[in-house]
Amino acid sequence: MADIQNFLDTIKAGYTFKGESYKIGCAMLDGAVVDGADVLMPLKTLNRHGLIAGATGTGKTKTLQVLAEGLSDASVPVLLMDIKGDMSGIAAAGTVNDKITDRCQKLHIEYKPTAYPADLLTLSHEKGVRLRATVSEFGPVLLSKILGLNDTQGGLVAMIYKYCDDNKLPLLDLKDFIKVLQYVSNEGKAELQKTYGNISTSSIGTILRKVVELQQQGAEVFFGEKSFEVEDLMRINDDGKGMISIVRVTDLQDRPKLFSTFMLQLLAELYATCPEEGDMEKPKLVMFIDEAHLIFQEANDALLQQIETIVKLIRSKGIGIYFCTQNPMDVPASVLAQLGLKIQHALRAFTAADRKVIKQTSENYPETSFYKTEDLIMQLGIGEALVTILNEKGIPTPLVHCMLRAPQSRMDVLTDGEIDNLISKSKIAGKYNTVVDSESAYEILTDKLNDAAKREAAQQEQEAEEKQTRKSTTKEKGFFDNPTVKSMTRTAGNQIVRGLLGVLGLGGRGRSRKSLF
Torsion of CA 64, 70, 76, 79, to 10 degrees: 20
- For the segment 225-258, what is each residue's pLDDT rounded down to a tens digit? 888 888 999 999 999 999 999 998 776 666 766 7
pLDDT tens column, 331-378: 888 888 889 999 999 998 888 888 888 888 888 888 898 999 999 999
The pLDDT tens digits for 92-122 are 999 999 999 999 999 999 999 999 999 999 8
The answer, yes or no, to whether residue 493 has pLDDT greater than 80, is no
Task: Return the CATH number of the domain spanning residue range 2-124+241-257+272-296+315-432.
Answer: 3.40.50.300
User: How far, in whole angstroms, is CA 455 from its chain's centroid?
Assistant: 41
pLDDT of 501 higher than 60: no
Q: What is the mean pLDDT of the chain?
A: 84
Residue 173 pLDDT: 87
pLDDT of residue 496: 42
Q: Is the pLDDT at 502 greater than 60, yes or no?
A: no
Report the first-to-last Cα separation within the chain, whole angstroms: 167
Q: What share of the chain is helix, strand, coil (3-state, %, to 5)?
A: 50, 15, 35
Coil vs helix vs strand at 516: helix
Question: Using an 8 Å Cβ cutoff, are 91 and 411 in contact?
Answer: no
pLDDT tens column, 443-472: 777 776 676 566 666 677 777 777 777 776
Top mean pLDDT of 52-56, 181-185, 275-279, 462-466 is at 52-56
DSSP 400: E
d(CA 114, CA 94) in angstroms, rounded, equals 6
Q: Quote the pLDDT of residue 500.
A: 37
Average pLDDT over residues 214-221: 80
Check residue 3 and give its pLDDT: 82
| 422 CB burial (10 A radius; 0-12, 13-18, 19+) | buried
pLDDT computed for residue 106 by the predictor: 94
Calpha distance 120→209 (Å, rounded): 33
Neighbours of 313 (CB within 10 A): 13
Angle made by CA atoms 313, 270, 168, in degrees to the nearest 5: 120
Q: What is the domain partition of the chain in residue ranges? A: 2-124+241-257+272-296+315-432, 135-221+439-450
pTM of the entire structure? 0.81
What's the sign of the alpha-carbon dihedral 12, 15, 21, 24? negative
**Residues 155-174: what's their mean pLDDT?**
89
Strand extents, DSSP E, 236-359? 244-248, 285-290, 319-325, 341-344
Check if the beta carbon of residue 175 is closer than 8 Å to that of residue 442.
yes
Q: What is the spatial distance between Cα 56 and Cα 345, in angstroms, rounded to a whole number? A: 10
Cβ contacts of 450 within 8 Å, gap of 6 or more: none
Most confident of 140-154, 297-311, 382-396: 382-396
